[in-house]
Amino acid sequence: MAVVALVVHHDRPSAAALAHETAAWLEAEGHEVRLPVDDASVIGLDRFGVAGEALADGVDLAVSLGGDGTMLRTVSLFAVHDIPLIGVNLGQLGYLTEVDPANLQEGLRRFFAGGIPLQERMLLDVTIESRSGAITVPRDLALNEAVLEKTFSGHTVRLDVAINGHRFTSYATDGLIVATPTGSTAYAFSARGPIVAPTHRSLSLTPVSPHMLFDRTLVLDADTEVRVVVMGHRPAALTVDGRHLGELRRGDAIVCTCSAHDALLVVLEPRDFHQVLKAKFGLNDR
């Protein structure tokens, strides 16, 4: 029998209800169910709560019940352990989620039966060099992006960029996004970055409202190292896949590279990325 972890959106009653239903069904089928302790407490499934590194130990499948934000949290908990992930769409756009709630049990049966393909998505390894001590987290992992951006309205932040150890340029900007192909349809898209097929392997460097003539996205090889250093007296807020990690100060930096791990997304039905784009952006009627 399988060990299945459920990660649940804390503020959606529909996610909590589906978690209760799915946990009961999995138990009845003889499977072991786990939830992060916080999730289990919030939705009233405390007996399934598992803390810390023990949560991922021996897990065969992680199921995200929510929207893309919940899926990103699921990736942060399980992707480094090379555990397959499946997303249930209880949100809106649902770029990362694979199945609708009504089809979850059938999807799980098919996964347990074997033979379901996995789609590999590149992850971003973010190393944090906080000489100031403002951020104590040494590294993080992202499916979408790492972002350094201004902390004061009306002021830019100055960021110096090196590529593969060679200085490229400095940006006076509202922010700078280092994105994966999956992240090209997230924050980078709103900053007018390019749309990249999610199974491609590359890094994209996109400035947010830069106060300079050079305002284009750089699309770089997957084996590229991008180092971004905070310059000047204004700090920069660091966010990784929507998780605010704190502020970096003058001389602090992040180093972004392709991770040795991939996010392994369960593919229950073939999904054409271009058709997904058409549906999400309402292009079918044009």
Q: Which positions are annotated as active-site residues?
A: 68
Alpha helices in 143-272 (DSSP H): 187-190
Give the pairing type, strands 166-173 and 253-266.
unpaired
Task: For residue 199, report the phi and psi dihedrals to the nearest 5 degrees.
Answer: -90, -5
Distance, in Å, from the CA atom of 210 to the CA atom of 216, rounded to the nearest integer, reads 9
Provide the terminal-to-terminal Cα distance of the chain, rounded to the nearest Å. 48
Q: 24 by DSSP, 3-state: which? A: helix
- The CB-side HSE value for 9 (13 A sphere, CA atoms) comes to 20
Take residue 139 and report the two structure tokens written for it: 């590294």
Give the strand pairing for 3-8 and 61-66. Answer: parallel
Measured distance CA(276)–CA(98) in Å, rounded: 11
Residue type at position 204: S
Collapse the DSSP code of 55 into the 3-class scheme (helix H, G, I; strand E, B; otherwise coil) and give the result: helix
Instruction: Note the residue count of the chain.
Output: 286
Cβ-count burial of 70 within 10 angstroms (0-12 exposed, 13-18 middle, 19+ buried)? Answer: buried
SS3 80: helix
What is the rounded distance in angstroms from the CA atom of residue 162 to the CA atom of residue 255? Answer: 9
Residue 4 C-alpha from the chain's centroid: 20
